[in-house]
């Protein structure tokens, strides 16, 4: 029996069954595998070593997967596999093709779980199977992108029964309307638009880029100062060694073999003292260079600690005081308390941050907003917050 969905614009469409979607996925995997193999043949002569082989194969699959699935889904709502089986990905609000943001969010939700150590493959498999647990056959990736997969080959009308009224309006028995998505009503009655998965992902990427730029600038500053210091130490050491060596060589020319044994002995003793002094200067130069290098490594460690602390404070402080990081400011998203819409404050901001960084589960927690219509991930639920689009 075919399932049906009522889209946000009132249009009723037949859902693509799990068997149809699985067939489309298998076809897409085969096509990407063939393309990866052909690309590998073009570069295989330049790649050696098992680690390099695995790395480049994974890289080729990632690039081809994004180019193939994201682009085709964004523009047409269907890959070649879905075209073959008559399935199409559409937006739940108006039935159009998903567009770039939703298509990328849908793809990343399917594949980012692979980054989770140990549990990555199991989580990815669960995401692929998640349509089975939804009446609308919406997987977690569909929920994240606010999309649904329909059967474009089903031409029958949706089941309808007249209610016997004068107007003879059909009911929608047997269909599943899409829940009103995209809005949230806070405990104080205020209604706000929710920040979608694509918007939140964009904010996260922008924050990462901002922090990376700051970290690179600090590391460049450390590198420049360290190189200057080490160069200065080496230059001073070489100058002292050169001066001492010139003095030693000069003393060789002062040896007078006609002055008697005592004169020769005194000259040789002076020469030996010069050689000892030269050796001491050499040892001191090596110690100075090693000390400068150790000092540079200590400053590097301090710089790295500062970068980590700065990254932690960046999100906690800005979310606590403003409800938004720079990335969220750019994409117009804001974290607020679910009860009264105010900024989260220190306690909620710290709870939210620490929940996001739970070992082994961090990536899954970042994907958790896709599990709920309210788009509140586990970190938002733990901190009693919600991410909205401010007016």
- Select from 141, 156, 172 the least CA-distant residue to 21: 141
Contacts of 371 (CB under 8 A, 6+ apart): 140, 143, 377
Q: Residue 335: helix, strand or coil by DSSP?
A: strand
DSSP assignment letter at 134: S
The DSSP element (H or E) to which 386 belongs, if any, is strand 385-389
Q: Kindly tell me the burial class for residue 309, based on how many C-beta atoms sit within 10 Å of its own C-beta (0-12, 13-18, 19 or more).
A: exposed
Q: Where are the beta strands (DSSP E) in 178-265?
A: 183-185, 191-194
Contacts of 115 (CB under 8 A, 6+ apart): 363
For every one of its 391 residues, what pLDDT tens digit does the chain have, with 9 covering 90 and above?
457 888 877 788 888 888 888 889 899 989 988 888 888 788 777 777 777 777 777 777 888 888 899 999 999 999 999 999 899 999 988 888 998 888 888 888 887 766 666 666 777 788 888 887 777 788 888 887 888 999 887 765 555 543 433 333 333 334 545 444 467 777 777 888 888 777 787 888 889 999 999 999 999 999 988 888 888 888 887 777 777 777 666 655 555 555 556 666 666 676 677 777 777 777 887 888 888 888 888 989 999 999 999 999 999 999 999 999 999 998 889 999 988 889 999 999 999 999 888 877 777 787 777 666 677 888 888 888 999 888 7
Residue 57 CA to residue 115 CA, distance in Å, equals 16
Instruction: Tell me the C-alpha to C-alpha distance, in Å, between residue 309 and each of 216, 219, 305, 314, 329.
Output: 15, 15, 6, 8, 22
pTM value is 0.55
Q: Can you give the pLDDT at residue 318?
A: 95
Which pairs from 25-30 meet CB under 8 Å and 24+ separation?
A: 25/81, 25/128, 26/81, 27/80, 27/81, 27/84, 27/85, 28/68, 28/69, 28/79, 28/80, 28/81, 28/82
Residue 7 CA to residue 172 CA, distance in Å, equals 12
Question: Helix 99-111 vs helix 197-253: angle between axes, to the nearest 10 degrees?
Answer: 70
Q: Kindly tell me the burial class for residue 254, based on how many C-beta atoms sit within 10 Å of its own C-beta (0-12, 13-18, 19 or more).
A: exposed
Please work out, in degrees rounded to the nearest 5, the angle formed at the alpha carbon of residue 85 by the alpha carbons of 83 and 91: 60
DSSP assignment letter at 184: E
Contacts of 149 (CB under 8 A, 6+ apart): 15, 16, 21, 82, 87, 88, 89, 90, 131, 137, 142
Q: Which residue has the tokens 């790649």?
A: 47
């Amino acid at each position: 029996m075919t399932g049906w969905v009522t889209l946000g614009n009132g249009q009723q469409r037949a859902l693509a069954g799990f068997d149809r979607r699985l067939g489309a996925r298998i076809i897409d995997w085969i096509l990407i595998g063939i393309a990866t193999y052909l690309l590998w043949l073009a570069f295989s002569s330049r790649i050696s070593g098992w680690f390099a082989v695995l790395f480049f194969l994974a890289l080729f699959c990632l690039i081809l997967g994004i180019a193939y699935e994201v682009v085709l889904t964004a523009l047409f709502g269907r890959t070649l596999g879905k075209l073959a089986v008559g399935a199409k990905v559409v937006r739940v609000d108006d039935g159009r093709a998903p567009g770039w943001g939703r298509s990328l969010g849908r793809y990343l939700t399917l594949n980012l779980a692979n980054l989770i150590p140990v549990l990555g493959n199991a989580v990815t498999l669960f995401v692929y199977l998640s349509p089975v647990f939804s009446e609308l056959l919406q997987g977690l990736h569909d929920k994240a992108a606010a999309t649904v997969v329909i059967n474009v080959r089903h031409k029958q009308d949706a089941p309808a029964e007249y209610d016997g009224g004068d107007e003879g309006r059909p009911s929608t028995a047997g269909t599943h309307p899409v829940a009103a998505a995209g809005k949230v009503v806070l405990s104080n009655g205020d209604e706000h638009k929710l920040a979608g998965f694509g918007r939140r992902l964009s904010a996260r990427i922008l924050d990462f880029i901002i922090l990376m730029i700051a970290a690179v600038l600090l590391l460049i500053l450390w590198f420049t100062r360290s190189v200057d210091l080490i160069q200065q130490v080496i230059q001073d050491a070489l100058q002292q060694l050169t001066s001492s060596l010139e003095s030693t060589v000069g003393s060789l020319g002062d040896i007078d073999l006609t002055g008697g044994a005592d004169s020769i002995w005194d000259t040789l003793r002076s020469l030996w003292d010069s050689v000892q002094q030269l050796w001491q200067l050499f040892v001191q130069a090596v110690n100075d260079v090693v000390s400068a290098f150790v000092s540079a490594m200590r400053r590097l460690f301090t710089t790295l600690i500062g970068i980590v602390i700065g990254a932690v404070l960046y999100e906690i402080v800005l979310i606590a005081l403003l409800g938004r990081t720079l990335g969220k400011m750019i994409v117009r998203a804001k974290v607020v308390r679910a009860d009264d819409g105010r900024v989260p404050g220190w306690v909620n901001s710290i709870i939210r941050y620490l929940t996001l960084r739970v070992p082994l589960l961090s990536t899954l927690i970042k994907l958790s907003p896709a599990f709920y219509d309210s788009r509140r991930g586990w970190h938002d639920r733990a901190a009693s917050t919600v991410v909205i689009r401010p007016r």
